[in-house]
Amino acid sequence: MSNTVETTFAPVSFTETAVKELLKLKDQQEIADDFGLRVGVEGGGCSGMSYVLGFDQKKDGDQEFIVDGIKIFMHKAHQMYLLGMQVDWQDGLNSRGFTFSNPNAASSCGCGTSFSV
């Protein structure tokens, strides 16, 4: 039984610039096709929870989504914290990296990589 969900509605979305950067990173790092982008949360960070974003293999409890041609792995329990979140890529003079716009976050730290609910 497959847990792959191909839909236009996934718990998270990515801007065009984030998709381009993710595809570039996957190509540059020669990441195998059986890997997907893990999107999740973990305890820690200044505000209590930190975002997880990185290429990984599928694990027990993961759901799989295809978003803009990118295979996404997300543990079912993380969806309630990330539903509606948008990931963007910033490449400016003052900041460079992925940013997270999470409607579920009650507060975020200054670095933008941790939040509380």
pLDDT of residue 23: 96
Q: Which residues are within 8 A (CB) of 39 and not within 5 positions of it... i.e. 6 or more apart?
A: 12, 51, 52, 53, 72, 73, 74, 78, 82, 87
Burial of 79 (0-12, 13-18, 19+ CB in 10 A): middle
**Do residues 31 and 55 touch, judged by C-beta distance below 8 A?**
yes
| Residue spans of alpha helices (H) in 1-117 | 16-28, 79-82
pLDDT of residue 4: 56
pLDDT of residue 111: 52
Q: Which domains does the chain have, with CATH numbers?
A: 10-99 (2.60.300.12)
pLDDT of residue 8: 43
pLDDT of residue 10: 83
pLDDT of residue 73: 95
**Do residues 18 and 53 touch, judged by C-beta distance below 8 A?**
no
Average confidence (pLDDT) per 10 residues, the chain, 117 residues: 56 95 96 94 73 94 92 92 92 83 72 53
